[in-house]
Structure 1
């Protein structure tokens, strides 16, 4: 065998876009803790599958994510832990302390992050409006449930409380991934 055929030639690996559908609020040094830091639109209600994709994107941006908390109202199964970037992230749940439309992520280095959770069965136009509202830096502070209630009033045919076992992938195009602005790592004090 010749020296040129001993090893395969290196191949370029294409960039893989983040799999989590996110919109993050820009953080300014003068702003205090906002009610929401952005929005997340998971593709399903399977947290074992969805949380690693979310934390995988946020971990390098926000600092090592160590804990995640959800309200179990819309999640049929909540894993106790997930693996992200070579470390374990503990997952817990709170029923009365946490808004059912919000997820809480904790980082030992940068603090707390709150994201609106847009139900997977939400239509793309509705999700786009919710993501824009939750990530707008100039928008008045609003709770996750208040945003969802306002959107439901605008889209009365949308059911936020659909069966958790229903198939979330209904063939809608994921135009949000193409239209969302790129997010920069938000600096935290």
Structure 2
């Protein structure tokens, strides 16, 4: 059981965003771990998801431990991803709780703060306006979300 009795203050807050109604979109939010050890940060993620999803009963991922993460930063430095990047998938997690589920995009921990923050904003469904809407960060983040949504559709058709 992963029920929590109280809140803990973490030295490094969990970087997690969710749409207002998880389960209603291809991508319901994003998680941006602080390190490359997703397993080490998973307990804090589960703790944060307990309230919006209920007790967590299942977690599915679309990657293996031997697969390298896609480099979001390369989106900004090249017009076309290299051949190696084409074969890498966006890391997705399906978190199933007793009352709801969420499909999360996992933002690679080495993503630059400006791009990571913009991906998180776009993944949460928050509207962007003015100069931020016209920035290279926004364009890159929207590209990441489009590709992640397409990957989620393929993955969902395989895992059901």
TM-score band w.r.t. shorter chain:
0.5 to 0.7
Does residue 130 (structure 1) correspond to residue 119 (structure 2)? The answer is yes
- Give the corresponding residue for 1:102: 92
Offset at residue 76 of structure 1 (A)? 4.4
CA offset digits 1:76-113 (Å, max 9, x no partner): 49xxxxxxxxxxxxxxxxxxxxx632111011x22321
Matches of 2:57 and 2:26 in 1, distance apart? 20
Unaligned runs of at least 5 residues, structure 2: 1-6, 68-88, 129-140, 148-160
- Decide whether aligned partners of structure 1 residues 61 and 148 sit closer, same or farther in structure 2, where only a CA change above 3 A counts: closer
Cα shift at 1:33: 2.1
In 2, the alpha carbon distance for the partners of 1:76 and 1:47 equals 13
Partner of 1:24: 18
| Higher radius of gyration, 1 or 2 | 1
Q: Superposition RMSD on alpha carbons, in Å?
A: 3.3
Unpaired segments of 5 or more residues in structure 1?
1-13, 78-98, 151-189
Task: Quote the residue 2:54 is aligned against.
Answer: 63
Question: Of Structure 1 and Structure 2, which has the larger fraction of its residues in helix?
Answer: 2
Matches within 5 A, 1:1-189: 16-17=9-10, 19-27=13-21, 33-73=24-64, 75-76=65-66, 100-107=90-97, 109-136=98-125, 146-147=143-144
The number of residue pairs the alignment matches comes to: 107
Structure number with the higher strand fraction is 1
Query: Is the Cα contact below 8 Å between 1:26 and 1:137 reproduced in 2?
Result: no
Q: Distance in 1 between matches of 2:118 and 2:13?
A: 20
Provide TM-score, normalisation by structure 1: 0.47
Whole-Å Cα distance in 2 between the matches of residues 53 and 104 of structure 1? 16
8 Å CA contact 1:40–1:116 kept in 2: the answer is: yes
Q: Which consecutive aligned stretches of 4+ in structure 1 deviate over 2 angstroms post-superposition? A: none
Q: Per the alignment, in what secondary structure is the counterpart of residue 40 of structure 2?
A: helix
Query: Partners in 1 of 2:145 and 2:127 — Cα distance?
Result: 19
Using a 3 Å threshold, how does the CA distance of structure 1 residues 148 and 44 change in structure 2: closer, same or farther? farther
